[in-house]
């Protein structure tokens, strides 16, 4: 563990940097007026997107949430190189490989599903080991976390939706941590205006106030929660765990394929499992914070 620029950071056994996220409170979701404005625009579009309209409606009511425990969160999205360590250690086959249907990639500039489009394949755009892994399902991402937890003895997991938004906002209340203007997002995120041709290596844009990169854009990030568009109306104040069941899991932050409006701190995407894998969707690792009790016990 080390202190840097006012932050506490660590590296796990994959040399993946993690930032300590402090406990605290924030307003989760969007203000009614912002959603009403965005809905009006979405419905007036030349070709209204019903999925986009439903997602905007799921951002209300804005509600107070308390994150009661500190936790570690990956400074970056999980990369192809890091995911390869898991695959090689466990001879793991992703869901896209197991069912033979594959994931998504670019064919003639269009996103198409194809059996050859799996996590380590040529997806029609350049990728190195520093690019975020994509075409991994929620179950694949969870299997990676379980493998790492077993290997390290400390729990790694997918962040809850509330943990994700809390860390993404990093104390900000604007649509993006960079502010309220989509034009400003260009310096901070890979989205359709800056990365139309594919994912980018992690960490190339600037970080948010808590030192996290690519929370807006590059790839969608799986969260632990089941998705329920109406959940915010009944969400508990402390550490909300998400809906108790459902066909969809949540992913957050938007991607290189999305307009700025799909990359906001509050935007929620429900994606059906186990079908959910795409060339724009990966994940970020959370890790349980150990307050040193274990180290103390070891010394006794």
Binding site for Ca ion (CB under 5 A): 214, 218, 253
- Least CB distance to Ca ion at residue 252 (A): 8
Torsion of CA 113, 248, 271, 250, to 10 degrees: -140
Query: Of 220, 100, 81, 206, whose CA–CA distance to 161 is shortest?
Result: 220
> For residues 77 and 228, which CB has a smaller minimum distance to Ca ion in the complex?
77
> For residues 235 and 255, which CB has a smaller minimum distance to Ca ion in the complex?
255
Q: Residue holding tokens 């400074």?
A: 75
- Least CB distance to Ca ion at residue 227 (A): 17
Q: What sign has the CA pseudo-torsion 141, 146, 149, 154?
A: positive
> For residues 35 and 168, which CB has a smaller minimum distance to Ca ion in the complex?
168
- Least CB distance to Ca ion at residue 244 (A): 26
> For residues 218 and 235, which CB has a smaller minimum distance to Ca ion in the complex?
218
- Least CB distance to Ca ion at residue 36 (A): 27
> For residues 59 and 214, which CB has a smaller minimum distance to Ca ion in the complex?
214
- Least CB distance to Ca ion at residue 255 (A): 7
């Amino acid at each position: 563990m080390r202190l840097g620029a006012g932050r506490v950071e660590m590296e796990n056994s994959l040399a993946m940097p993690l930032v300590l996220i402090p406990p605290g409170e924030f307003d989760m979701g969007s203000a009614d007026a912002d959603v009403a404005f965005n809905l009006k625009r979405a419905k007036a579009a030349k070709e209204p997107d019903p999925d986009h309209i439903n997602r905007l409606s799921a951002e209300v009511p804005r509600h107070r949430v308390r994150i009661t425990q500190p936790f570690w969160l990956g400074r970056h999205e999980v990369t192809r190189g890091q995911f390869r360590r898991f695959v090689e250690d466990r001879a793991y086959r992703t869901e896209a490989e197991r069912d033979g249907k594959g994931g998504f990639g670019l064919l003639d500039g269009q996103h198409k599903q194809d059996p050859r489009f799996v996590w380590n394949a040529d997806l029609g755009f350049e990728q190195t080991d520093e690019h975020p892994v994509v075409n991994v399902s929620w179950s694949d991402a969870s299997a990676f976390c379980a493998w790492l937890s077993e290997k390290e003895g400390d729990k790694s997991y997918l962040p809850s939706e509330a943990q994700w938004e809390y860390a993404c906002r990093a104390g900000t209340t604007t649509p993006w941590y960079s502010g309220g203007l989509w034009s400003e997002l260009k310096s901070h995120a890979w989205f359709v205006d800056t990365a139309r041709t594919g994912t980018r290596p992690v960490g190339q844009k600037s970080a948010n106030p808590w030192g996290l990169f690519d929370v807006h854009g590059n790839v969608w990030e799986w969260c632990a929660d089941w998705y329920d568009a109406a959940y915010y109306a009944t969400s508990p104040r402390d550490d909300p765990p998400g809906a108790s069941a459902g066909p969809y899991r949540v992913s957050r932050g938007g991607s290189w394929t999305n307009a700025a409006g799909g990359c906001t701190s509050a935007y929620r995407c429900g994606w059906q499992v186990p079908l959910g894998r795409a060339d724009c969707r990966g994940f970020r690792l959370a890790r349980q914070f150990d307050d040193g009790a274990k180290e103390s016990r070891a010394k006794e």
